[in-house]
Structure 1
Amino acid sequence: MPSTEDFGQRLRRLRTGTALSQEALSHAAGVSVRALADMERGRTRGPQRRTVQALAEALGLDADEAAGLEEAAASGRPRLRTAAGPAASLTLALPRDIQDFTARDGALARLLDLAQDTGPDRPEVAVIAGQPGLGKTSFAVHAAHRLAPYFPDGQLALDLHGMDAEPTTARDALARLLGAMGIADSAIPAGTDDRAGLWRSLAGDRRLLLLLDNAADESQVGPLLPGTGPSLTLVTSRQALAGLPSVHRCDLALLRREEAVELLTRIVGPERVRAEAQAARDLADLCGHLPLAVRIAGQRLSSRPHERLGKLVARLAAEGRRLDGLQAGNLGVRAAFALSYRQLPADTATFLRRASLAAGADFSPETGALLAGLSYDEAVDCAEELTDAGLLQSEPAAERYRFHDLLRLYAAEQVTAEDGPAVRDAALDRTACWMLDRAAAAALHFDADHERTAPSGDPDPDTAPTGREEARAWLEAEQPQWLAALRRAHDTGRHRQVLDTAEAMHWFSDLNLHWEQWVEVFRRAAESARALGSRREEAVHLNYLAWAYNACVHDHPAALESADAALVAARDSADGLQQGWALNYGATALNRLGRTEEAHTRLRDAVRCLAAQNSPMARLAELTTLNTLGTLLRQTGRAAEALEIHRRSEQICRAGVPDRPDELIALYHASARQHLGNDLAALERWDEAEPQLRQALAAFEAAQTQAWAEQARLDLGRVLGAMGHPDARATLLAARDALTVLRSPRQAEAAAALAELDEAATGV
């Protein structure tokens, strides 16, 4: 057999010797006709070992003939050039590793496991994705250097320029890979598919590590991935590359605070960090724990060895200058964000920058749609595109999105640069009006005076919350948005909308005593009423404000001041109902300030004022005032008098209040029972107290009024403890934990009762 016979010539001789056509051999060996033709014409000079074995079996070759065919194929397989080879191979050498690389131990360990799991049928691919500035390339390069010993046949690194205006095409990238594998330019096929086939045949038998950095999309990466063999490919991209199948994902997270400080320490030196430890921590926080930002801050400080860390902290603390401060030479956070922003379609770019105007830590597509002037579906598409691009992070369980702090600053800069004040204000006003209309409609689900049908006035009835659970969920999730909308409406003079929203929320507020923002809501509402010249509405909202000071933030001097102002406004407008409420709230503040006798006098005045009126609302106010008066009497050692007062409350509840729903009166009745139980407990009539408190607790739970239910649970736990009941401890423990979550001042009372019960049990 002539020694000059190459693989293609040998294969054709063997095939014709068995009288097989290319089609027949293709079918028998499982190799495409096109691939066979390329082999016989010499375009593919060294197919991989498994292909040669399949051909030998299909041709029925003996061992010697099969070995000869494999030897011919092996001679046609070019070997990967080393650094000592021609200069062209050096273009794909791994970049220099970063000596101060920090953290990422978990992600690196997963890649090490992956490197050891590659095999002839398992060419592994790991996609390293995430937002700009996470250090994806630095991590991939560092990992490649650590993984190099597992891949003795070579390591290749290729920048795909995915963020450039014209990313590297798959065709051009394949040409560079083939050149690094020793294929002469004249032998590189013209078409992308042919190049990909040749690349896969060359890579198939080798343990190669391939780093594809800065990938644009799946169509660019797909043709570059080896199809078989024990290789590992690392792909970095700002895009999620969700369309790549069968890949491992390595989504880098922000550094933890201590990791960010460690990176800073490695750059500027431990002495400077030790000398200003708190400034180092503050600097890490101002960088948002983003590796790029921390590195820039560190390199800036490193170039100024005599500059204090605290000086840079002070500069970055000013939000308007933070991105300016995160610049070192040609390395800047703003520039990193701009690369991604400039590639966005127009609507998506608008959505990103306008979303920076949303209040709170996160926002819904609904908010983004309002700010950007898009439909809801368009906003969802934009948000998902931005999430895939690493510019937004999505919440795990809800359709909500959030910015990194620095990216929000960058997006806000683009609002100023591209939209201007008029467009910005129009977006904020449009969003505020919609949010307040939705918030008022949602809050009316909890209003005892409102029909229990779907509340009117919602700006989009088709998507409006239906029922209390959906309404509560919306009001809680969008709290920062509607509160910001209320501020904007107040500050821009839309006082009627402020009043209407606050009025709609006053029943809902009573179920959420731990929300400290009720002070701001009702303070702004009172100011809006004053601006409109409505003394009656001013009295109403000053009373709500006094309630919020008393119940939500426990600022009793402020509560008294607000109640006194409400009393004056109520008298000016001849509103007896508001006079009664003002006396009640003022008495509550006085009692908590230790001015018990003054409180007692005001409550008696309030009861007389309200009893003289015939309106249903006056009856409800009278019930509340009687309960407050009874509580004061009990607390001052007059439990028997308190019991009589609370029985009077119960009688009103049993008689009913005209034009008021039964479920509302049931809540007042439950409150009366709670007070009766506490009165009986004060008289040590434990057996009578227990059923009253159990009924109150059951009613509050059925109405889903947690703030009231947990206080009743505490009262019940104390009675059970006095009775020696086995459920006492579990009841007190549940009350303490829930009251702590609610930030109720009674949490301390629950903790004390629990400690007292434990001491009694241990005999301490």
Structure 2
Amino acid sequence: MRGGSPSTEDFGQRLRLLRARAGLSQEALSHAAGVSVRALADMERGRTRGPQRRTVQALAEALGLDADDAAGLEESAALGRPRPRTTDGPAAPAALPLPRDIQDFTARDAALARLLDLARDAGPDRPVVTVVAGQPGLGKTAFAVHAAHRLAPHFPDGRFALDLQGMDAEPATPRDALARLLGAMGVADAAIPAGTDDRAGLWRSLTGGRRLLLVLDNAADESQVGPLLPGTGPSLTIVTSRQALAGLTSVHRCDLALLRREEAVELLTRIVGPERVRAEAQAARDLADLCGHLPLAVRIAGQRLLSRPHERLGKLAARLAAEGRRLDGLQAGNLRVRAAFALSYRQLPADSRAFLRRASLAAGADFSPETGALLAGLPHDEAVARAEELTDAGLLQSDPAAERYRFHDLLRLYAAEQVAAEDGPAVRDAALDRTARWMLRRATAAALHFDVDHDRAAPSGDPDPDGAPAGREEARAWLEAERAQWLAALRRAHDSGRHREVLDAAEAMHWFSDLNKHWEQWVEVFRRSSGSARALGGRREEAVHLNYLAWAHNSCAHDPRAALASADAALVAARDSGDGLQQGWALGYGAQALDRLGRMEEAHTRLREAVRRLASQTSPQARLAELTTLNTLGTLLRRMGRAAEALDIHRRSERICRAGVPGQADELIAMYHAVARQHIGNDLAALERWHEAEPSLRHAVAFFEASQMPAWAEPARLDLGRVLAALGHPEARETLRAARDALAALRSPRQAEAATALAALGRAATGT
């Protein structure tokens, strides 16, 4: 050999000497040749004695070999490759090598550890199969290849990778795939049986005693994969597929999740370098979020930035922030998020494609089959079947507990693009109108379960009475689960001029809203309903809904200035219509806003006027309004340092409750009584009559809990906790802690009071 080249026929030794002569480290040669460091190390140590010709050519080019040295390297590699079978025994494995590993592979540590445990568990009677499934872009192939490289030392008898082309128009047949696998095991073409079953039998016999690692990438379905799985022996097979392959038995499953935010940022860092990410840390986090933490999207963003070293991360983040341009921005060379989604979309039957498109029109983070059926114009059971099919295809994710489904954010954008391209605006608007009308009717009927004035014998107006929620608990569950849908329906009805539907829905929601004060959406609901009342020209209805809006600003959004403006507008409308009841409500809501603004004397004056007006009214509704206003007035007096007067006012409220209100349900008056008891307890506490305060507050908490009214129960629990703390009661700490945590979950501003009371209790206990 010329130039002092090695004369040995051993490929590994020859490669090692040539690399040393070139002055290259394994890492440098790996990078130049596009071969992983692990694969290069296996070659030099003799673990891989006959690499493929294209691998040898890449190494020769990276080493800068002349023609003679390159030919010598190829000759030594050829000697290590298996010969065609000439005997009945199997030959050494060759061909179908693992693809190149990704050097910047990130995260998935738990899944890799699980695979390592499985590899160790493989035994003569336990060939291990694991299925890596999930939506497009999760990095299933990258994970399988990386895992295979990590696990390679455990499988000295061969490591094969085969692309089953599951996303192609014509995926590989099991017969053809078996031919390639048998060829890789050294079976001559002439010796490969003709039939699929015979090929599968020969494959199982050859693999039975070997420690083989097999990667079956991009599987189409179970029937394609089944014949390729070893029957016995200590092998490990990793199958990747966008389909769930739920029909494969005796397999382990590895359903890859989205990256966590910090993992997505770490992947971006490994691609573009830590300096750029440190310089724009927030932009890097924004990019991770805009990519939906989808590995493919993050990689594309990183590769795009890597190819533009002077472009700022913030520039790409600003581009991706526009939803209409996001998928356009997520492409780098031949890597495209849209293309990954399109592969799966084109595989679907026409009705499933239509369901996927229309489901993207659903409001909120997830949707029910009910919503999907309405949008797609399908019967409910068929919609369930389509949703389950799309879940198995990795295009939807199912809720772990409820029958609900969600899109990945980027896949929703893709599906919405297909609505525009394949359905057009007329079909889109018809689907949205059909869904909105149905949802608003169902929401109205469900909310009426909570309306104390509603005649239970009257028709509910539900669009599907047989499937309607039965009773309050089912109605509550439906209204909470479908909140985004019926709110979108209300918006669409308002914007379409269907004002009577808006008013009917908002009126039905009135009592239900009182049980869910932590929903800030009530501001929008009653803003739209008051606008609809104004559009219809009914001043009394406008006053009613402006009062609801004032309540929402006060109690839900905690915006007293907006509440005062709404209450003042309601007072004008009520005076115009001559409605004394609504005048009383408007004065009361305005007083609450003034109190929150620190204008206590003005609030006191308005409340006295409200009580006077309401006391002169004779309707049952006026009595309820009077109870509310008395309670508010008493609370204000207590806060003004006039607790004895407050106690008298709240005792007056309690007397009305005990006397009853004709025409009103006992359970409703019991609720007002519980409110009065809570206020009485607080009055007594202000007077330091702690032992008298405790039973009143316990009564209030118990009632609100039994009625499942957390927005009422938790403030009462805080009040009770303060009294228990003053008494030195052993339940004080736990009561305050529970109130603090629950008020935080409700986003109540009183959570700060609970935290302060709990801290004060801790200081008292330590004497600090």
The alignment's TM-score, normalised by the length of structure 2, stands at 0.87
Which of residues 331, 344, 348 in structure 2 aligns to 1:344? 348
Distance 1:270 1:720 in 2: 54
Distance 1:100 1:415 in 2: 36
**Contact 1:204 1:229 (8 Å CA) reproduced:** yes
**Contact 2:91 2:187 (8 Å CA) reproduced:** no
Q: CA RMSD in A?
A: 1.7
Q: Which residue number corresponds to residue 22 of structure 1?
A: none
Instruction: Tell me the alpha carbon deviations over residues 420-453 of structure 1, each in whole angstroms, 9 at most, x when there is no partner.
Output: 1111111111111111111111111111112457
**Contact 1:441 1:455 (8 Å CA) reproduced:** no
Q: Which residue number corresponds to residue 691 of structure 2?
A: 687
Q: Which residue number corresponds to residue 616 of structure 1?
A: 620
- Are 1:673 and 2:677 matched, yes or no? yes
Q: Which residue number corresponds to residue 158 of structure 2?
A: 154
Distance 2:636 2:183 in 1: 91
Distance 2:300 2:738 in 1: 49
Once the two structures are TM-superposed, the CA of residue 268 in structure 1 deviates from its matched residue by: 1.9
- Are 1:541 and 2:545 matched, yes or no? yes
**Contact 1:445 1:455 (8 Å CA) reproduced:** no
Once the two structures are TM-superposed, the CA of residue 166 in structure 1 deviates from its matched residue by: 0.8
| Change in 2 beyond 3 A, CA 1:698/1:452 | farther
Once the two structures are TM-superposed, the CA of residue 178 in structure 1 deviates from its matched residue by: 1.7
Q: Which residue number corresponds to residue 512 of structure 2?
A: 508
- Are 1:77 and 2:81 matched, yes or no? no
Once the two structures are TM-superposed, the CA of residue 467 in structure 1 deviates from its matched residue by: 1.8
Q: Which residue number corresponds to residue 329 of structure 1?
A: 333
Distance 1:303 1:756 in 2: 58
Q: Which residue number corresponds to residue 23 of structure 2?
A: none
Q: Which residue number corresponds to residue 361 of structure 1?
A: 365
Once the two structures are TM-superposed, the CA of residue 81 in structure 1 deviates from its matched residue by: 4.1
- Are 1:475 and 2:479 matched, yes or no? yes
Once the two structures are TM-superposed, the CA of residue 454 in structure 1 deviates from its matched residue by: 9.2
**Contact 1:211 1:235 (8 Å CA) reproduced:** yes
Q: Which residue number corresponds to residue 654 of structure 1?
A: 658
Q: Which residue number corresponds to residue 189 of structure 1?
A: 193
SS at match of 2:254: strand
| Change in 2 beyond 3 A, CA 1:396/1:270 | same
| Change in 2 beyond 3 A, CA 1:190/1:74 | closer
Q: How is 1:100-111 mapped onto 2 (pairs within 5 angstroms)?
A: 100-111=104-115
Which of residues 224, 241, 245 in structure 2 aligns to 1:220? 224
SS at match of 1:342: helix
Which of residues 248, 252, 262 in structure 2 aligns to 1:258? 262
Distance 2:276 2:766 in 1: 54
Q: Mean alpha-carbon deviation: is it higher for 203-212 or for 452-461? A: 452-461
* Paired amino acid for 1:627: N
| Change in 2 beyond 3 A, CA 1:279/1:714 | closer
- Are 1:268 and 2:280 matched, yes or no? no
Distance 2:156 2:727 in 1: 78
Distance 1:266 1:93 in 2: 26
- Are 1:484 and 2:484 matched, yes or no? no
**Contact 1:454 1:466 (8 Å CA) reproduced:** no
SS at match of 2:347: coil
| Change in 2 beyond 3 A, CA 1:702/1:78 | closer
Once the two structures are TM-superposed, the CA of residue 568 in structure 1 deviates from its matched residue by: 0.5
* Paired amino acid for 1:725: H
Which of residues 576, 586, 590 in structure 2 aligns to 1:586? 590
Q: Which residue number corresponds to residue 742 of structure 2?
A: 738
Q: How is 1:706-725 mapped onto 2 (pairs within 5 angstroms)?
A: 706-725=710-729
Q: Which residue number corresponds to residue 74 of structure 2?
A: none
**Contact 1:444 1:455 (8 Å CA) reproduced:** no
Distance 2:619 2:187 in 1: 95
Q: How is 1:443-592 mapped onto 2 (pairs within 5 angstroms)?
A: 443-452=447-456, 456-592=460-596
Q: Which residue number corresponds to residue 171 of structure 2?
A: 167
Q: Which residue number corresponds to residue 49 of structure 1?
A: none
Structure 2: unaligned runs, 5 residues or longer: 1-84
Once the two structures are TM-superposed, the CA of residue 715 in structure 1 deviates from its matched residue by: 2.0
* Paired amino acid for 1:711: P
- Are 1:291 and 2:303 matched, yes or no? no
Once the two structures are TM-superposed, the CA of residue 759 in structure 1 deviates from its matched residue by: 2.8
* Paired amino acid for 1:78: P
**Contact 2:506 2:529 (8 Å CA) reproduced:** yes
Instruction: Tell me the alpha carbon deviations over residues 268-313 of structure 1, each in whole angstroms, 9 at most, x when there is no partner.
Output: 2223222222222221221111111111112122222222222211
Q: Which residue number corresponds to residue 50 of structure 1?
A: none
Distance 2:698 2:269 in 1: 60
Q: Which residue number corresponds to residue 636 of structure 2?
A: 632
| Identical-residue share of aligned pairs (%) | 84
* Paired amino acid for 2:539: R
Distance 2:701 2:275 in 1: 60
Distance 2:386 2:742 in 1: 40
* Paired amino acid for 1:198: L
| Change in 2 beyond 3 A, CA 1:700/1:102 | closer
| Change in 2 beyond 3 A, CA 1:249/1:749 | same
Q: Which residue number corresponds to residue 203 of structure 1?
A: 207
| Change in 2 beyond 3 A, CA 1:644/1:218 | same
**Contact 1:616 1:659 (8 Å CA) reproduced:** yes
Once the two structures are TM-superposed, the CA of residue 564 in structure 1 deviates from its matched residue by: 0.4
Once the two structures are TM-superposed, the CA of residue 391 in structure 1 deviates from its matched residue by: 0.7
Q: Which residue number corresponds to residue 46 of structure 2?
A: none
SS at match of 2:214: strand
SS at match of 1:212: strand
Q: Which residue number corresponds to residue 414 of structure 1?
A: 418
* Paired amino acid for 1:292: L
Once the two structures are TM-superposed, the CA of residue 728 in structure 1 deviates from its matched residue by: 2.5
Q: Which residue number corresponds to residue 176 of structure 1?
A: 180
Q: Which residue number corresponds to residue 43 of structure 1?
A: none
Distance 2:483 2:611 in 1: 36
| Change in 2 beyond 3 A, CA 1:336/1:558 | same
Instruction: Tell me the alpha carbon deviations over residues 242-290 of structure 1, each in whole angstroms, 9 at most, x when there is no partner.
Output: 1000011111111222222222222222232222222222212211111
The alignment's TM-score, normalised by the length of structure 1, stands at 0.87
Distance 2:710 2:282 in 1: 41
Distance 1:699 1:148 in 2: 65
Q: Mean alpha-carbon deviation: is it higher for 707-716 or for 235-244? A: 707-716
Once the two structures are TM-superposed, the CA of residue 417 in structure 1 deviates from its matched residue by: 0.4
Structure 1: unaligned runs, 5 residues or longer: 1-72, 83-89
Q: How is 1:107-122 mapped onto 2 (pairs within 5 angstroms)?
A: 107-122=111-126
| Change in 2 beyond 3 A, CA 1:98/1:607 | same
Once the two structures are TM-superposed, the CA of residue 75 in structure 1 deviates from its matched residue by: 4.5
| Change in 2 beyond 3 A, CA 1:255/1:727 | closer
Instruction: Tell me the alpha carbon deviations over residues 19-47 of structure 1, each in whole angstroms, 9 at most, x when there is no partner.
Output: xxxxxxxxxxxxxxxxxxxxxxxxxxxxx
Distance 1:298 1:754 in 2: 48
SS at match of 1:310: helix
| Change in 2 beyond 3 A, CA 1:147/1:611 | same
Distance 1:271 1:679 in 2: 62
Which of residues 204, 216, 241 in structure 2 aligns to 1:237? 241
**Contact 1:207 1:229 (8 Å CA) reproduced:** yes
Largest Rg, 1 or 2: 1
Q: Which residue number corresponds to residue 143 of structure 1?
A: 147
* Paired amino acid for 1:77: G
Once the two structures are TM-superposed, the CA of residue 455 in structure 1 deviates from its matched residue by: 6.8
Q: Which residue number corresponds to residue 385 of structure 1?
A: 389
* Paired amino acid for 1:359: A
How many residues matched? 684
**Contact 1:454 1:467 (8 Å CA) reproduced:** no
